[in-house]
Amino acid sequence: MAASSRILGIGLGDLAPTRNAELQAAGYELLPTSTMEEVARACWFETFDVAIVGHALSNVEKNIIVRCVREVFRLPVVLILQKWELRSSLAAESYVCADAPPEDLIHTIKTVVEINNLRTTGD
């Protein structure tokens, strides 16, 4: 992972400060957003390596945001799910359980960023 990897955090809810600190300690820069307007503004004016979509959003919000982030802004998505949401109907590059240890989220992000970089560079 490059130290400059940037994450767009979307609706991470009450755990946002904790996740921010964990991701920053792992070398990531995270921009937190909570509305579709903030997401669109961030994606138009900045570059990100991956988007993390939090579990606290409603299913309707998650559906709109995930589809937009993937299809319009072409960002890979890591979707954070509650334990009871064993599988999501939303297409994302990867999924992490909300109560998973921070290492799981960091590993997932690193993997998704690396795979996306390989796809975009053609290596």
Task: Please state the pTM of the whole predicted model.
Answer: 0.86
Q: How far apart are CA 25 and CA 35, in angstroms?
A: 25
Contact criterion met (CB below 8 Å) for 13 and 53: no
Domains in the chain with CATH codes: 6-121 (3.40.50.2300)
Give the pLDDT of residue 2. 46
Token pair 């890979």 is found at 76
Say what percent of the chain tops pLDDT 90. 44
Per-residue pLDDT, 59: 82
- The residue that leads in pLDDT, 87 or 73, is 73
Closest CA to 36 of 17, 50, 53: 53
CB 23 within 8 A of CB 106: yes
For the stretch 17-64, pLDDT in tens is 777 788 888 999 989 898 889 999 999 999 999 999 988 888 888 888
